[in-house]
Structure 1
Amino acid sequence: MDIVAMGEPLLEFSEITDSDGHKVYLPGFGGDTSNFIIAAARQNAKTSYFTHVGTDAFGEQFLKLWETEGVDTSYVVQNKNAHTGIYFITYTEKGHQFTYMRKGSAASLVSAEDVPEDLIAGAKLLHVSGISQAISETSCDAVFHAINIAKKNNTLVSYDPNLRLKLWGLDRAKAIINATAAIADIFLPSLDDVIQISGFSEPEDIVDYYHSLGAKIILLKLGANGVLISDGIKKERIPGIKVDTVDQAGAGDTFDGAFCAQYLEGKTILEAATYANAAAALSTTGYGAVLPIPRREQVELFLNQKI
């Protein structure tokens, strides 16, 4: 197995206006680590996902999605006593507004005892996120337990903090995210997130700070301005790519999954990040978190056209 991810999938209901001018909600798929593993799978990585879902229709839809995408679901558990999380996206003058119904979700009830040691030990890379640490204390413990298993078995750890202050207070978020970044082999933050928890505002200073904590490879996502990458010795900036952006949902997750897939193939940090930067840009040209995630052939064609 190349890549294992764990976390909380969420069924998405996104507000759209139909042909009659009525507001309706279009169903889709979300959840940062689920988006990640699908992005990695679409770049031809061998992938597996660990989570708990409900026995409801939403859980069944996710199982079908992952199987269709070629993601191994052997370690997805259906909990008959809990539901699959959902969220709603509404659009206002101020931008996206998210409303979550995830309290008590099957994924939030995952504990350290549930983590599949054999799956992580046999993988090349484990991906986790700050959202999984924020949704419950037991889920947070499960993430750290998974990381410990990875470290004992020489499995690389990639980590995206995906800061959500609606889920936890700033002090707790800062402590846990920074502690996790310190033991990550690949740290994948977004600039807006780490400005709030690092004490720095300049990208170069932020990268230096997280290297000082212990993060090995850092890819600081700068949105439309591209990405700043560093291995602790050399920093390089990859500029953003101009595309006809309509929806940025899931772009960061697409970047993460595409980077990890390419990096495990033996690409350099710069090569893998350049590829991931293009994949993330392409993902913003369609609506929803999952549907517009590009496949490998699309990314390669796009990059060839840019040369």
Structure 2
Amino acid sequence: MITVFGSANMDLVAYVERAPDLGETVAGREFRTICGGKGANQAIASARAGGDVRFVGAVGSDGFGTELREVLDRSGVDTRALRTVEGPSGIAHIVVEDGGANSIIVVPGANGKVTEADAERLDGDALLLQLELPMPAVVAAARAFRGLVVLTPAPVVPLPPELLDAVGLLLPNEHEAAAITGLTVPEEALEALLALVPEAVVTLGADGAIYGSRDGSRLRVPGRPVEAIDTTAAGDTFAGAFTVARTEGRTPQEALEFATAAAALSVQRPGASTSMPTREEIEAEARRGRPKDGRGSRWESAPKN
């Protein structure tokens, strides 16, 4: 089982040709409300990818909270540990440009009321964490969990040593990896991350992903040639699919291929949770784009400075 300890937000999404500059007003072409939040996104991505998923967090007593719970339930996520607290649910205001680029403002709402006490109810084979909950609760969850702890370090904030000590796999995108390490070359950033945690994956958007572990493994999986229309939840889709593959006993190489296929499908669809593919779709995409030898590229040692 995969436990997701994280945020649930209602995404208020505006689609525009380009995002406005400060003080500027632009005309949008469409508006949607979509279940989101990095925690809920990863829970739904994991469930649709075939995982047995439990979600722990909080929603508000408003209509958004009811809708968020219903969407998670319909997606096959166990919400019995999802609390309803008095007040508003978390929301995210998202502007999506033509071509898929986005900017996001998050207002925590009920997510800010998640505490260390919620972290006491965690079990399973893997724990998915993000950083949209109060840091003390995230640290408590990581330290209490006895399986694989996977952390997506977003939004980027200073990572306490006690959190890193409990993380088994760190999963940033290339910008988050650079912010954490101060290194802009992804391969160099990966090596620096491995000084902090046993395993790391750095996602590279259209260029795929790279993986490393302290046992010396280094893997690279290329991106898939697709036309992106909305990249809002691509990273969460990758994280959910990758964790499902790892908990099923797949190799890191197979997990990277599975997750890259899932993310490629998600960016071709609008929205966060609405963009996430099913297991059957992911498997079909992974087979379609697999190299003839069934493997990605590897490098044998850390890149030289």
Provide the TM-score with structure 2 as the length reference: 0.86
Match for 1:144: what amino acid?
A: V
1:208 aligns with 2:208: no
Distance of aligned partners of 1:34 and 1:91 in 2 relative to their CA distance in 1, 3 Å threshold: closer
3-state SS in 1 of match to 2:184: coil
Q: Does 1:55 align with 2:52?
A: no
The answer to whether the aligner puts 1:174 opposite 2:158 as a matched pair is yes
Q: Deviations over 1:153-206 (max 9, x none)?
A: x31100000135xxxxxxxx2343x65344311110111112122121222221
Whether 1:131 and 2:132 are equivalent positions in the alignment is yes
Instruction: Say if 2:79 is the partner of 1:84.
Output: no
> Which amino acid in 2 is paired with 1:127?
L
Q: Which amino acid aligns with 2:61?
A: T
Q: Kindly provide the CA deviation profile for residues 228-259 of structure 1, in whole angstroms up to 9, marking residues without a partner as x.
A: 11122121111111112111110000000000
Answer whether contact 2:209 2:220 (CA < 8 A) is retained: yes
Cα distance in 1, alignment partners of residues 189 and 165 from structure 2: 13
Match of residue 99 from structure 1: 105
Q: C-alpha separation between the residues in 2 aligned to 1:6 and 1:51? A: 6
Q: CA deviation at 1:281?
A: 0.7
Aligned-pair identity (%): 27
- The offset of 1:24, in angstroms, is 4.6
Instruction: Note closer, same or farther for the CA distance 1:8–1:71 as it changes in structure 2 (3 Å cut).
Output: same
Alignment-mate amino acid for residue 130 of structure 2: S
> Counterpart of 2:207 in structure 1: which amino acid?
N
Q: Distance in 2 between matches of 1:216 and 1:273?
A: 17
Q: Which of 142, 147, 153 does residue 147 from structure 1 map onto?
A: 142
Aligned mates of 2:192, 2:105 — CA distance in 1: 33
| Structure 2 Cα separation of the partners of residues 160 and 131 of structure 1 | 10
Corresponding residue of 1:168? none
Which amino acid is 1:99 matched to? I
Out of 64, 73, 80, the residue aligned to residue 74 of structure 1 is 80
How far apart, CA to CA, are the structure 1 residues paired with 2:75 and 2:255? 21
- Residue 5 of structure 1 corresponds to which residue in structure 2? 4
Of the candidates 158, 174, 181, which is equivalent to residue 150 of structure 2? 158
Greater displacement, 155-164 / 252-261 = 155-164
Aligned partners of 2:143 and 2:166 also within 8 Å:
no
Structure 1 residues 209, 16: CA separation in 2 closer, same or farther (over 3 Å shift)? closer
Give the length in aligned residue pairs.
Answer: 278
TM-score normalised over the length of structure 1: 0.85
3-state DSSP of counterpart to 2:265: helix
Which residues in structure 2 correspond to 1:1-307 (within 5 Å)? 2-16=1-15, 23-80=29-86, 82-91=87-96, 95-102=101-108, 105-115=109-119, 117=120, 119-120=121-122, 122-132=123-133, 139-150=134-145, 154-164=146-156, 173-176=157-160, 180-213=163-196, 215-232=197-214, 233-307=216-290
Cα distance in structure 2, aligned partners of 1:194 and 1:114? 28
Residues 60-69 or 105-114, more deviating: 105-114
Q: Point out the structure with the larger helix share.
A: 1
Return the alpha-carbon distance in structure 1 between the equivalents of residues 143 and 61 of structure 2.
30
> Which residue of 2 is the match for residue 167 of structure 1?
none
Q: Structure 2 stretches of 5 or more lacking a match? A: 17-26, 291-305
Structure 1: unaligned runs, 5 residues or longer? 133-138, 165-172
Matched residue SS, 2:273: coil
Residue number in structure 1 paired with 2:293:
none
CA deviations on 1:243-287 (whole Å, 9 max, x unpaired) are 121111100000000000011111001111111011011100000
Report if the CA contact (8 A) 1:131-1:161 is conserved. no
2:298 is matched with none
Question: Is the 1:181–1:210 Cα contact (8 Å) retained in structure 2?
Answer: no
Post-superposition shift, 1:25?
2.2
